[in-house]
Amino acid sequence: MLENIKGRRSCRNYLDKEVSSELIDEVVECGLLAPSGMNTQGIEFCVITNKEILNGLAELAGRNFHYNAPCLIVVYGEADNRFTPYDGSCAMAQMHLAAHELGLGACWINQLKDFVVDERFDDIMNKLALKGKVIVGSLALGYKAEEPKPRMMKRICRVNYVK
Ligand SMILES: Cc1cc2nc3c(=O)[nH]c(=O)nc-3n(C[C@H](O)[C@H](O)[C@H](O)COP(=O)(O)O)c2cc1C
């Protein structure tokens, strides 16, 4: 577990290879099992593997925002749940680690939360039942085309030990 946490990196280069539904389900289950404020379990997941939809989103966005990952897991909740951003972030982190454990690459993708409030995306967002939701983030998921380098820490003094 410690090695998993220390070795995880964001992946931005994916093979053109589908991820099995079994592996995707493992990752999603780890998101579903994440802690949530007052155990509300309000976070929901939209798993997009449909190439037409993924390409359509990238086309409208005008850029390859998901790095051609074959799977995008959108993590969202309701605006009236004050825990949504925190719970969604916990789910994202757990899915990141699950992906790494399973030998998959993953990357937090922030753009969906802009798309959901942009009317050019209304058709797709309605189709995905995401319109009106608070999107915390989405996880690009796929097989790594290259092994990311180990992470470098930017600053050393980020921990204040008070004894
Ligand atoms: C809230 C949040 C939003 C992020 N949004 C994006 C994004 O839109 N696109 C992207 O390529 N990476 C995104 N990332 C990934 C970060 O850039 C990455 O975690 C950071 O550079 C550290 O690299 P590492 O994950 O390999 O340790 C995001 C990460 C977080 C936590």
- Ligand 1 test: best mutation among 11, 92, 108, 115, most atoms within 8 Å of CB? 108
pLDDT, residue 122, reads: 94
What are the boundaries of each domain within the chain? 2-142
Contacts of 26 (CB under 8 A, 6+ apart): 98, 102
22-38 average pLDDT score: 98
Q: Report whether pLDDT(18) > 90.
A: yes
Instruction: State how far the Cα of 89 lies from the Cα of 4, in Å rounded to an integer.
Output: 18
Between CA 105 and CA 91 the distance in angstroms is 16
pLDDT digits (tens, 9 = 90+) for 81-137: 999 999 999 999 999 999 999 999 999 999 999 999 899 999 999 999 999 999 999
The CATH fold assigned to 2-142 is NADH Oxidase (3.40.109)
Who has greater pLDDT, 127 or 158? 127
What pLDDT is attached to residue 151? 81
Question: What mean pLDDT do residues 48-65 have?
Answer: 95
Residue ID of nearest Cα to ligand 1 atom 3 = 110
Give the residue, by CA position, lying nearest to ligand 1 atom 7. 109
Q: What pLDDT sits at residue 156?
A: 76
What integer is the mean pLDDT of 51-75? 96
Pure H helices in 21-144: 21-32, 51-61, 84-101, 112-115, 122-127
Q: Strand, coil or helix: what is 116?
A: coil
- The dihedral region occupied by 44, where left means phi > 0, alpha psi between -120 and 50, and beta the remainder, is beta
Q: Ligand 1: which of 68, 110, 112, 155 to mutate, judged by most atoms within 8 Å of the beta carbon?
A: 110
Report the half-sphere exposure of 63 (CA within 13 A, side-chain side): 5
